[in-house]
Amino acid sequence: MANTEPAATSRTITDPGRSGGRFGRELRPWLVLLASSGIALILTHRLWRAHPRRTPTYSGDEFVYLSQIQSVSETGWWYSQPRLGAPFGQVNHDFPFGGDSLQVLLVKLIGYVTRDAALTLNLFFWLSSILIAASMFFVLRRLRFPVAIAVAAAVLYANLSYHMAHGTVHLYRSAYYAVPLACLGLLWAAGVDGGLLDSDGRFRRRRVAFVFAVAALVAVTDTTIVVFPATLFGIVGLARMGRKRWREGTLSLAVAATIPVVLVVANAPSFVYRFQNGANDVVLKRTAREQEVFGLKISKMLFPGDRHPISLLGDFGRKTVERSPIPSEFGQYIGIVAIVGLLSLIYVLMQFVSGDRASAVRSPQMEPVAGILAIVAILLAVPGGFSFVLTVLGGEEFRVWNRISVYISAFALIGSAALLDRSWQWLSSAWPTLSARILASSALIGMVALGLVDQTAMHPFPYDRAASDFNSDRVFYASLEDGLPECGAVFNLPYNWAPEVGWDRGRTYHQAVSTVHTDCLRFSYGGISGRQSGEWQRVASTLPAAVAIDAVLLAGFDGFAVERGDYAHDSPAALEELLGSQLGDSSPIISPAADLAGFDGASRLRTLETLLTDAERAAISEAILDPLVPLFGDGFDAVPIVERALFTTTGTVELANYGEERSVQVVFDNLGLDNVESLEVRNADGDLVASFNEATYGSRVSFPLRVVDDVELVVRAAPSVANRAARVAFNVVIIDDRLAPLVLLHPGSLASLDATSPRKT
């Protein structure tokens, strides 16, 4: 790092944290900050158009946060939600939120007062803007900036494009109030403003305590970006040790280590759960490729989106993403004011490195160090950057490196504040009149106004559309709850894996809000992939549709809810026709927005009670809920969930047995062959289980199997033409022999529940 030895500031300003002023004098700047940030919040969020008890976007991940807020209200914490993942309930330890514990606590406290999930979400989001401004203001005042400049920079930081773009869709990500505090800790660790040692070489206890407290804070406010401060503190520590500042370097490394330690402690219950129940290899499956996809794009950091009010800038922003193989994520634009500050930091750093240390910079330390930290953050986060080293070392879970832009923005706005302070000092000395002060104040207000428009105008919240969709769902679920037995169970169609539906599959988390709009109904959505609560639904969705519908009813469900928007053309007509005819429900409940359809299964359940014995019904329920689950391993092009499996020459399929010993029929359905003369299936010992040749090929092939424990099958394809690969695509369908009574009720029924109507892909 550049020379970061303690140096005197260019002028003396009373340290607000150590001033001898009275309470009123210290309170006034904070009142100015609160008033300014409140006015900015109203204007940038257009709160006069908001519906407090309706969410701002009602889309995307906002559904998940709404559902979690409801779960916290009902159960006390994020660990579980008994009303999702029916009939087993949803357990969230495979996708832990321990790194967001403080955010969840704030949600819980707000929810105690509101008793309304949507209002809680809104209040948390609005409060986060004030907290971010207060945090940034505190940091700037500790760095001895004047109140006016500190307020201006804090208001701009609280309304970054990042905050507006992530919004309530990424509710906890938008509440980055810990970031400015971490930046102050990084500056102190690097030696700015005297650093962590006093003039006698002793640790400044308050600052050391502050830095460790901030390390704990960042570990429990945002899981997805917790790696950023840990990495930066580690780099600062190594740099300090490289300058033989051993004590400060060791302390910085200790702070870096504190962050993951606190994160692990916060997630301790989840580690205990995984130890007791085994690891889940399906959830949180990240790849090194995602570090590239979600890397920081300098072009997106410097140019806004195509909806920017200045069309020229919008055009530049559009061109940066047109046909780009790396689209990355929204919200990276740091804003015109921060860009100027970043350039100023780089300019001062270049002067500093070239030896021109007598230049009129506000602090010989702060700006060069802030510039270095911003540049290091950029080099870490760009696609193919140094963060890739962490990825290949096992850090695939930390993929959204573009979000380090909130750290870059903080350092850049510190640079903007320093530039403004120098300009203010020059103007005061060159033109020491009241007119000059009025002009400077007006320019500062104008800069803040321009900055707010620049950063926020691209991100208007669709309040009216969101309220309309929210109201439509409320009407639908109220009608569904009235029509089904009290606290009954609803099977959600289509099956969407949880906790993540797949960001690249065009599907949504809309099913998650079912608990928000009902009092005690239970829903199948939310069963965790890789666990029995989710895998039984995946297997059921591959069964012949008519068989699956009856089996689901016998498993304890009272009706079905169809998410039309997850089907191609938003219209699963064939599926709804089958449900209506088989269930005897010719008048399903349709939401006012026509995006949901609800079916009552009571009539069909009464019919099944007359057609099947008690023993048959119990056996069917056990077979559907304790399934044999196909898991695709070596040789497959991808790891499919419901989608078609594809392998070349050899593919390994594991059949995970959630129940007891059983006999099943294994079906390779929707078979697609390329250069395949024959297929053979062997077990892990190499014994032949089944074989097929061209004469037996059709759209499906099947074979019986007796299963005691988990079974591994190796499917090999012999090529028709030598020297060219044989390729096979298929769906695996497992039909338990205990389902035979339902198969007999529906002879010739082949199309699976999932394939009855085409889904979005």
Q: Count helices and strands (H / E) in the chain.
A: 26, 16
Strand pairing report for 711-719 and 650-657: antiparallel
pLDDT number for residue 497: 82
Q: How many CB atoms lie within 10 A of CB 311?
A: 10
Strand pairing report for 489-493 and 559-563: parallel
pLDDT along the chain (761 residues), means of 10: 42 42 77 96 96 94 95 94 96 91 96 96 97 98 94 97 94 96 96 87 92 96 91 94 90 96 95 92 75 85 82 73 75 94 92 65 73 95 82 74 95 96 83 79 92 90 96 97 96 88 60 95 94 92 92 96 83 89 90 95 95 95 91 69 64 83 86 83 86 74 86 87 82 89 83 69 52
pLDDT number for residue 506: 44
Cis peptide before 87 (omega within 30 of 0): yes
pLDDT number for residue 481: 97
Give the pair of three-digit tokens for residue 163: 């905050």
pLDDT number for residue 360: 40
pLDDT number for residue 19: 44
What letter represents residue 146's amino acid?
A: P
pLDDT number for residue 238: 94
* Residue matched to tokens 């040692």: 197
pLDDT number for residue 554: 97
How far is the C-alpha of 521 from the C-alpha of 84, rounded, in Å? 9
Handedness of CA 568, 571, 577, 579 (dihedral sign): positive
Residues 6+ apart with CB under 8 A from 72: 78, 104, 107, 108, 111
User: In terms of C-beta density within 10 A (0-12 exposed, 13-18 middle, 19 or more buried), how is residue 580 classed?
Assistant: middle
pTM: 0.90
Residues 6+ apart with CB under 8 A from 126: 41, 45, 47
HSE toward the beta carbon, residue 684, CA cutoff 13 A = 9
